[in-house]
Chains A and B, each alone.
Chain A
Amino acid sequence: MEQNGLLQKINKLVPGAILEKQRFGRSAELCLWVESEKLRELCVALKNDPAAELDWLENFSAMQLEDALVFTYFIRSTRTKERLILRSSVELTSPLERIDFQSLAGVWGMAEPQEREIAELFGIRFVDENGASAEYAKTASNHWKGFPLRKSFVFDGDKGTRGGPR
């Protein structure tokens, strides 16, 4: 389905979700900025829509751009050749607190392991539709303070577990 048709369909299904449309880097792929409140609604609609059927989350990547965390979802269909990139962002309020964001683990199977990692390394609480956040078994034990992949993380150097040579 070509891009304009997809956009019109999305606007009909979930009005007001799309904030901006842009080109992803230098590629020809369509990248949509989505309002974070309407993200799960939009994803469920895209997954269940029979023409688009975007049922495979290929990659879920998070990054920090200045003061905001930007989430990028690379979704595609296992049956057709449809691909789409969704983006959403959330403001980083304080460096040491966890931020809430919508969880898409119920929508796509691949979201769960990546959300678990991003939750721990960026400091996010992924909240599902009932308002509960999954108690993820930690990817790595939290012997560090703060959230490593944020730009504000401070490396406190050699921790000297046995007092060996520096």
Chain B
Amino acid sequence: MNGKFYLSTVGKVLDWARSQSLWYFSAGTSCCSNELLATLGCRYDLERFGCLPQVDPRQSDLLIITGAISYKAAPHLKQLYDSMLSPKLVLAVGSCANCGGPFAPDVSYSVVPGANRVIPVDVYIPGCPPRPEAIMNGLIALQERLRGTERASTKNK
């Protein structure tokens, strides 16, 4: 899936408009949610990219997963994703959401090794926890993917 929802020119405009206003719901668990909170603050300001935090998944386009997902919480995360309305995108922030991170399968018995085992993820942001600049970088990559102007570093080679 290359991230585009429509193929026509009208679709391109719609995609461009959507990328400028991704309202997100953050399923925050542990350490990375602190850095997401700092990204919201006035120094790094996530809202200037059009991302307004929502408290209801049904009203958001983007699901940001920060932190470790445990096997107990995984069905609830899936339910959260299912309750979002299409078109929807997922951003995995931090090593735990990418691949289990420090709680990899040979170290931890209860962390899912990556949120992509539960729901499809569009962009992965590595770091433990990633700096706010890295989170913004990931978000911009997601926006560009949606618009179709993919940067070299995010293109599938």
Instruction: Report if A and B touch in the complex (beta carbons < 8 A).
Output: yes
Chain B contacts for A164, CB-based, 8 A: 114, 116-117
In the complex, are the beta carbons of B118 and A162 less than 8 A apart? yes
A141 within 8 A of B: yes
Chain A contacts for B106, CB-based, 8 A: 155, 157
In the complex, are the beta carbons of A161 and B109 less than 8 A apart? no
In the complex, are the beta carbons of B105 and A140 less than 8 A apart? no
Interface centre among B105, B106, B116, B118 (most CB of A within 10 A): B105
Chain B's interface size range is 10 to 19
Provide the bound-state CA to CA distance between A162 and B116, in Å. Answer: 8
Given contacts A161-B118, A162-B117, A162-B118, contact A140 B112 (CB under 8 A): no
In the complex, are the beta carbons of A140 and B70 less than 8 A apart? yes
Provide the bound-state CA to CA distance between A148 and B103, in Å. Answer: 14
Residue of B nearest to A139 (CB): B72
Provide the bound-state CA to CA distance between A25 and B17, in Å. Answer: 65
Chain B contacts for A158, CB-based, 8 A: 105, 113
Identify the 9 closest CB pairs spanning chains A and B, nearest first.
A141-B72, A158-B105, A161-B117, A162-B117, A143-B71, A144-B109, A140-B72, A148-B109, A157-B105
Q: Beyond A140-B70, A164-B116, list 15 extra A-B contacts (CB 8 Å).
A: A140-B72, A140-B110, A141-B71, A141-B72, A143-B71, A144-B109, A144-B110, A148-B110, A153-B109, A155-B106, A155-B109, A157-B105, A161-B74, A162-B116, A164-B114
